[in-house]
Amino acid sequence: MAADGHLLSLEGLSREFAIRRGLAVRRFPAVDGATLSLPSSPHEILALAGESGSGKTTLARMILGLTWPSSGRILFKGRDVTLLGGRERRSWFRHEVQPVFQDPYATFNPLRTVDAYLSATARNFRVAARSERESRIDDALQAVGMSLRDVRGRYPNELSGGQLQRVSIARALITRPSLLVADEPVSMLDASLRMSIVNLFRGLRERQSVLYITHDLATAYYAADRVAVMLRGWIVEQGPVEKVLGEPRHPYTQVLKSSVLEPDPASRSGGRIAVSVSETDDFLRGGCRFAARCPQVMDVCRATVPGDAVVDGRVVKCHLYANGGTDG
Amino acid sequence: MNLVAEATDLTAHYIVDAYGQKRTVRAVDGVSLAIRRDEVFGIAGESGCGKSTLLKALLGAITPPLTVRGGSVSYYVDRQRMDVLRMPEEDLRALRWRVVSYVPQGSMHVLNPVRRIRSTFRDFVQAHRQVGDRESDEMARRYLDGLGLPPKVLDSYPHQLSGGMRQRVTIALATILAPPLVLADEPTTALDVVMQRAVIGMLEQTRREAGGTLVLVTHDLGVHAHLAHRVAVLYAGQVVEEADANTLFERPLHPYTKHLIQSLPRIDDRARRVGIPGQPPALDAPPPGCRFHPRCPHAMAICRAEQPPMETVGPDHRVACFLVSGGAGDGG
């Protein structure tokens, strides 16, 4: 177990992409100074929420080792994963951190049976002796409410979307990871199937921690213990889900929450919401990246980047809480 | 009743010939809808329940393998009834955009990537109105300004705009000529929450200012709750319940509607929700009787044998379920 008691901690993690405008090349920070951690115990579901283009997926790809950070550190069980050699990355890190993908219909090879896909995963990761592989796979399928008998010899088109997403979660469980990174795992599923998968993640917390990436605040509130809200590469508010989504403090989180369409005609409301014309402008502007749309914008917001402040049990990156914000 | 469009017992199937094997996908099966002037009519349902096919039929866009097997679609415009499915293609084309316009699914990707938004607006406006470039530009600028979109949008190429901005441009294109009927297929899907709210605000505004009917197809019940006056719930190609939005969300009667509404998570409430067991049926071999019976916790013997009739249970409230129509006896 890690010396500092964290399963995962991100320290000032950043990733820049270069964008060209005519002859000029500008640095575009897709993730900018992300600092975040998951405890070793108890297991936790941490939701990473934010609109499209907020950097959620880039952050997840860095945690999975699919995208290299430009700066900052990723510590997993106390070890800096960017410094791992290829062999250790394969034999240790990839067993410990597993992805669950967004689209179950696109994850599977339509010409291969589902059980062949699962046993290939078990073989590639050398999870057990050949004789025990089947029971490892069955164990993973049992954890998602299925069994090897349900999928043996069957092709992906013979399973429903909900079943396929269960199988794709089971695939991630074969190595018995300590962390699942699930990027929008229910956004492709129908309403009547969605909650059964979200409930599955709630149940899987017994086995390991989950980083649940979503733009759906209602399922984040329902499933997660803590939430980090991202905006244009920054984590603008993070803390327990009841605090951050229950009584949001950052103006952006407040806008997000009030935008959620509650399934209740009584909650209809008017009011226009500011929407940015171009995402890149927000990134390249000085000061706070929400300033152009913020209902509580001040002069200082357009000039300087806000710092992090602890307010009422959560961390908020906003000038409103710059002085004396520490009331909790 | 002041109707703008009507579908009567509409049946539209996809007839697919795969390797010599004929397969009939019953995407829309006996759907009747009466859509009124100046209302927002919502069509709800999960993927594969026939929503988009129904919308295509309402638009009169029937191309093989989609085949109309029965029923009719009518528009009531210019004090006339128009039989959409039996109309020559040229006549239908003349109605499009003047009488009925369409916001397609995934409309973020329908804009021509090598033309500025300004030129796309010119194409749309000049195809239907005798106006010059300058007049068309002025019309587009004023229309976008009224909707709160900055004028610089007109000078942009689609890739320079954010996804939500592109979606709003497509809605502006569909509504600039103020047709009495706009059909929108999943206009808020694939957008994040803030953008969804902005797009909904815009749909509401265009309708409030220019009047007209919006037929809104989406699986997202939150969108229906915020926008629709009346909602029809589709399951496996058939309407199972139809009601005004308040009644549908507060007193749903069909077990499918009830379950769908109860399963939605809400912020500030972590009470356990459950999904509906099972999955929607394949439409090439729908179950006999009520199509929901294999997933229904209240299924009775009659549900497996007979299709429940559509019963009117209140003003604007119709439901097709034996629990409501009392099918325990002989279906009376």
pLDDT digits over B272-304, tens only?
Answer: 888 788 778 888 888 999 999 999 999 999 999
Q: Which of B46, B148, B193 sits opposite A191 (nearest CB)?
A: B46
* CA separation for the pair B106, B188 (Å, rounded): 9
Identity of residue B32: S
A87 part of a folded domain: yes
**How much is the pLDDT for A229?**
96
The domains found in chain B, sorted by start residue, are: 3-109+181-195+205-235 (3.40.50.300)
Question: Domains in chain A: how many in total?
Answer: 1
A177 part of a folded domain: yes
**How much is the pLDDT for A193?**
78
A13-43 pLDDT, tens digit per residue, is 999 988 777 777 878 889 999 999 999 989 9
Residue B160 has pLDDT above 80, yes or no: yes
A198 contacts on B by Cβ (under 8 Å): 265, 273
A246 contacts on B by Cβ (under 8 Å): 267-268
**How confident is the model over A182-208, as a mean pLDDT?**
86
**How much is the pLDDT for B100?**
93
| pLDDT above 90: percentage of residues in chain B | 48
A145 part of a folded domain: yes
Residue B86: exposure state from Cβ atoms within 10 A (0-12, 13-18, ≥19):
exposed
**How confident is the model over A270-291, as a mean pLDDT?**
69
A206-240 pLDDT, tens digit per residue, is 999 999 999 889 999 999 999 999 998 999 999 99
Q: Which of B197, B246, B260 sits opposite A259 (nearest CB)?
A: B197
A327 part of a folded domain: no
Alpha carbons within 13 angstroms on the beta-carbon side of residue B12 total 29
Instruction: Kindly indicate the confidence band of residue A278, based on its pLDDT and cuts at 50, 70 and 90.
Output: low
* CA separation for the pair B81, B95 (Å, rounded): 13
Residue A297 has pLDDT above 80, yes or no: yes
A328 part of a folded domain: no
Tokens matching residue A161: 């979307």
End-to-end CA distance of chain A: give it in Å, rounded: 31
Highest mean pLDDT (candidates A278-287, B35-44, B57-66): B35-44
**How much is the pLDDT for A119?**
92
Q: Which of A53, A192, A245 sits opposite B260 (nearest CB)?
A: A192
**How much is the pLDDT for A161?**
80
**How much is the pLDDT for A279?**
59
A191 contacts on B by Cβ (under 8 Å): 46, 219, 221, 260, 263-264
If you write DSSP's letter for every residue of A206-269 in order, what string do you get? Answer: TTSEEEEEES-HHHHHHH-SEEEEEETTEEEEEEEHHHHTTS--SHHHHHHHHHS--S-GGG--
The label of the residue with tokens 């059964």 reads A196
**How much is the pLDDT for B165?**
83
**How confident is the model over B67-80, as a mean pLDDT?**
91
Q: Are B264 and A218 in contact (CB under 8 A)?
A: yes
Mean pLDDT value across chain B: 88
* CA separation for the pair B8, A53 (Å, rounded): 44
A190 contacts on B by Cβ (under 8 Å): 46-47, 219, 280
**How much is the pLDDT for B205?**
85
Pairing of the two strands A226-231 and B100-103: unpaired
Find the domain containing A302 and state its range.
6-321
**How confident is the model over B207-222, as a mean pLDDT?**
89
Residue B332 has pLDDT above 50, yes or no: no
A77 part of a folded domain: yes
Would you tell me which residues 112-151 of chain B have a C-beta closer than 8 angstroms to some C-beta of chain A? 148, 150
**How confident is the model over A172-196, as a mean pLDDT?**
87
Identity of residue B170: T
Q: Are A166 and A104 in contact (CB under 8 A)?
A: no
**How much is the pLDDT for A107?**
83
**How much is the pLDDT for B331?**
39
CATH code of residue A132: 3.40.50.300
Residue A293: exposure state from Cβ atoms within 10 A (0-12, 13-18, ≥19):
middle
Tell me which of A125 and A283 has the higher pLDDT.
A125
* CA separation for the pair A109, B269 (Å, rounded): 39
Identity of residue A217: L
| pLDDT above 70: percentage of residues in chain A | 92
Q: How far off is chain A from B274, nearest CA to CA, in Å?
A: 6
Instruction: Kindly indicate the confidence band of residue A126, based on its pLDDT and cuts at 50, 70 and 90.
Output: confident
Q: Are B25 and B236 in contact (CB under 8 A)?
A: no
Q: Are B180 and B212 in contact (CB under 8 A)?
A: yes
**How confident is the model over A253-275, as a mean pLDDT?**
77
